[in-house]
A and B are shown apart, each in its own frame.
Chain A
């Protein structure tokens, strides 16, 4: 029992000693997080734009994409992207396999956040832009996207909390991230498993809190005066 005094003291000592090793692992989680968020944001935005403005053919294609990547379990995606390329004689490093698998998965979820935001922008905004002679593409980039991005931040906070945690799944393809490193501790001191995993839990509480705090600040900073952000829509105060 980890709550016994002696176990607790040795345990804390062991974990404190392993902390630099664990934090190097956390760093890999954070790197993976950023890479997959950027990939997810870029692809997700494109998918959402195609879904809303791409016409029937591209719209269907984009919807199919979003459906596929939301339907397959994350671990299965990781295995597919890690083992898949080696079938064709391409060795892919675990980190890249993880970025692709989790990033494309996240892009499917992000596309749905952004699609909702795009559709929440009143049609009159597009009409006003077109009536002054803007092309459709320009109107989308100058008028629609800036408003939709602001609405999306709340949904993204949610997606952020979710993918932060997903980064630990990358241990299944052998990425040397924090969870894999915890296994090193628990393999050696099996009585410390509880304490070690509590440490990981604490690390992720901190990461999620920091991230959501930052996104909250961004949302406030970008808030349009007088305009309240509602769930998936806007209304005037």
Chain B
């Protein structure tokens, strides 16, 4: 059974349907990348999965438990799904270390010493153990995003949802974040990544999902999608992205 199953998700904002029935699944240890033009509901899809924006209809299961069940313990389920935001959203009043350990302490009830040790390990994993005492405002964008990945990792999630994790970064800071994400994929973390980084998609994704106008237009392995897209729109989009960003791998 798949770790994450998303079935027929619909979501409208102010009468405009942003998601028009999206279904896919994600296996344990798999990395899937969602691509597509802006405003096609990619970020909304991620927020529907952990119910930060509850879907209007459709179902989501995480490891056999229905997330969209109104009686589900949504906080417990969210604790099992990491979420990395485009704008980092680190807690401004807490140091990097405290940002990472607050979840284990306050949500999972871990004791402070164990949580501190865990938080240091996760900061080490993203290469920032020397910045443990820095406040978010003292970190660069790339460092902030790495701390936010460490914050997600510290919860030992079953999967991590990435919402355009590099889109708010200066070009020279994108690499350090992608490196961390590539390593996570290699270590077998299950990841669902919305991104415009085609280099990352091509080299890391097990499967690429191309979305447009609230539906999945096409999905397939990077090889299929890049060299031989079945749908005309997929080809056009990849061509345009290539012109805009160039090859980044």
Question: What is the CB-to-nearest-CB distance from B219 to chain A, in angstroms, rounded to a whole number?
Answer: 25
Interchain CB contact under 8 A, A132 and B137: no
Range of interface residues on A (Cβ < 8 Å): 20 to 34
Tell me the complex Cα distance, A142–B75, Å.
16
A-B contact count (CB 8 A): 78
Given the contacts A138-B106, A142-B102, A227-B135, A130 and B78 also touching, CB distance less than 8 Å:
yes
Question: Which of the 9-residue segments B11-19, B89-97, B178-186 touches chain A?
Answer: B89-97
Interchain CB contact under 8 A, A128 and B85: yes
Interchain CB contact under 8 A, A134 and B107: yes
Q: Is A165 an interface residue (CB 8 A)?
A: no
Closest 6 pairs (CB-CB, A-B): A226-B137, A133-B79, A128-B89, A124-B89, A131-B83, A226-B138
Q: Is B87 an interface residue (CB 8 A)?
A: yes
Q: Is B110 an interface residue (CB 8 A)?
A: no
Q: Known contacts A133-B77, A133-B107, A142-B106; can you find 6 more A-B pairs with CB under 8 A?
A: A124-B88, A125-B89, A128-B89, A131-B50, A131-B78, A133-B80
Beta-carbon contacts of A194-237 to B below 8 Å, as 1s and 0s? Answer: 00000000000000000000000000000011110000001011
Given the contacts A124-B89, A146-B93, A150-B93, A131 and B137 also touching, CB distance less than 8 Å:
no
Beta-carbon contacts of B67-105 to A below 8 Å, as 1s and 0s? Answer: 000000001111111110101111111000000001100
Tell me the complex Cα distance, A122–B88, Å.
12
Question: What is the CB-to-nearest-CB distance from A59 to chain B, in angstroms, rounded to a whole number?
Answer: 22
Interchain CB contact under 8 A, B107 and A132: yes
Given the contacts A133-B78, A133-B155, A134-B106, A143 and B137 also touching, CB distance less than 8 Å:
no
Tell me the complex Cα distance, A150–B137, Å.
15
Q: Is B52 an interface residue (CB 8 A)?
A: yes
Q: Is B42 an interface residue (CB 8 A)?
A: no
Given the contacts A132-B79, A132-B155, A225 and B52 also touching, CB distance less than 8 Å:
no
Given the contacts A127-B52, A127-B85, A133-B75, A225 and B137 also touching, CB distance less than 8 Å:
yes
